[in-house]
Structure 1
Amino acid sequence: MSALGAMRDVPGLDACAVSDALDTLGLPPSVLTGVRPIWPVRGVVIGRARTVQAGERTGTGPRAHIAAATVEDGAPGDIVVVANGGRTDVSCWGGILTEAALRKGVDAVIVDGACRDVAESHDAAFPVFARASVPTSARGRIVQLSSGEPIEVGGVEIRDGDIVVADSTGVVVVPQAWAGQVAGWARRIVTREAQMRDQVRAGASIVDVMHDTAFPTPGDLDEEQQGSHE
């Protein structure tokens, strides 16, 4: 199964379960802190990162618009991720890009910076996650520096093909090579939390239900791996 297929195969998966799975596996944090849904996105978006690096314009002459080529090459399952250093005074995604992304089947966009035309994305039900929204256009101010190359968003390295999980809580990125293991632990976490809610509804003490001993640890993972080799 592909990395994307493994993550999408987990019933009830959300950003919180993925973050907890990364913690359990002892992997570096990969939550894009401060990046949030610009309009109230419903459900969970899971897709492959398509990376774009934006930056200050230098030189003169016409240039292709940020992310335009990436969107043109987009496909269902893609999530465009635009790194702009967290800059919020200029937009690098707008309504026309949204229209093109929808035509290609792109699932969402993540912007480390600002977007604009929020109403257009909302009306089209196209999920946009960013740090802010601002009317200021990118044209003449910032340009695309690269696409398909590793980028950094808030200290998190993102490579083309990594798995992005985004919902109303926030955005988490899973390295492609770890997607299978993260999906496996996330499945357990989702199941365990459903059981915990059932216990609370049945009258169990929240003190007991939420005790540290109710949660998996890296030691549990070590024991399981050891048992699988015996």
Structure 2
Amino acid sequence: MYELGVVHRTITRASHTDVEALAPFGVSTVHEAMGRTGLMRPRLRPVYPGARMCGPAVTVLLQPGDNWMLHVAAEQVRPGDVLVAACTTDNEDGFFGELLATSMRARGCAGLVIDGGCRDVAELEAMDFPVFSRAVSAKGTVKATLGSVNVPVVCAGAPVRPGDVVLADADGVVVVPAGRAAEVAGAAARREAAEEEKRKRFAAGELGLDLYGMREPLRAAGLRYTD
């Protein structure tokens, strides 16, 4: 069960060094480097092209059709933080728009990931305030029911604890537990170096059949060629 009506003001964020080490990598690379874990469901999409972010999570638990806790969360944001908002039940109302983004930007917020709706997309793009949302909806919300801030949440299928590192780009959103951030950054760097070598070999005309040693396993599995 979710903890309701509470704001945890003290959280342990991943270190700035670890966040900076993860920031250059893409979501796909980090997901693979972490053992193919941590992805949020692909229903979360950037609301404008080119949006991306990386930072420690300030988590928000919303009630359906109610954005009260986003205003509460603004006070807890430190520069570089990413807001991660989940809802107690499925809801696609427009919880977030240009005015809240202006408030969050003033606090140094790096962006928002929300398993719900947002609006004012043109204004968000003009501000270059990254938002990854479940939907775009002009439908407004109220401020009437308590949720929580900085509690563990499940956002689009992924568990997120306050202070975890959240990366988002055109491929989706991935969550790296704060305690694994340095390890995953190292694994991502090694994976990217290996991919660069493969890229050169592919560009030279080598086939994946040979680079990955697939021919014998395919033969053993029964693949036949006919002319």
Structure 1 and Structure 2 fold alike (TM over 0.5): yes
TM-score by length of 2: 0.79
Q: How does 1:1-230 map to 2 (within 5 A)?
A: 3-10=15-22, 12-23=24-35, 29-33=37-41, 34-42=43-51, 44-56=52-64, 65-85=68-88, 87-139=90-142, 143-210=145-212
Following superposition, the deviation at residue 30 of structure 1 comes to: 1.6
* Distance (Å, rounded) in 1 between the aligned partners of 2:139 and 2:213: 49
Q: 2:11 maps to which residue?
A: none
- Is the contact made by 1:88 and 1:134 (CA closer than 8 Å) also made in structure 2? no
1:147-186 CA-to-partner distances (Å, cap 9, x unmatched) read: 0111111332111000001101100001111111111111
* Distance (Å, rounded) in 1 between the aligned partners of 2:23 and 2:142: 42
Secondary structure at the counterpart of residue 113 of structure 2 = strand
TM-score by length of 1: 0.78
Secondary structure at the counterpart of residue 151 of structure 2 = coil
Following superposition, the deviation at residue 49 of structure 1 comes to: 0.5
* Distance (Å, rounded) in 1 between the aligned partners of 2:23 and 2:58: 24
Secondary structure at the counterpart of residue 80 of structure 1 = strand
Larger Rg: 2
Query: Which residue type is aligned with residue 32 of structure 1?
Result: M
Following superposition, the deviation at residue 11 of structure 1 comes to: 7.5
Following superposition, the deviation at residue 95 of structure 1 comes to: 1.1
Secondary structure at the counterpart of residue 117 of structure 2 = strand
* Distance (Å, rounded) in 2 between the aligned partners of 1:40 and 1:147: 29
* Distance (Å, rounded) in 2 between the aligned partners of 1:109 and 1:64: 13
Unpaired segments of 5 or more residues in structure 1?
A: 58-62, 213-230
* Distance (Å, rounded) in 1 between the aligned partners of 2:23 and 2:139: 40
Q: 1:228 maps to which residue?
A: none
Secondary structure at the counterpart of residue 165 of structure 1 = strand
* Distance (Å, rounded) in 1 between the aligned partners of 2:23 and 2:204: 23
Structural RMSD (CA): 2.3
Number of aligned positions between the proteins: 200
Q: Percentage identity across aligned positions?
A: 29
Q: 2:6 maps to which residue?
A: none
1:33-88 CA-to-partner distances (Å, cap 9, x unmatched) read: 1211111125x42100000000147xxxxx98231122233222100011025734
* Distance (Å, rounded) in 1 between the aligned partners of 2:168 and 2:92: 24
Secondary structure at the counterpart of residue 137 of structure 1 = coil
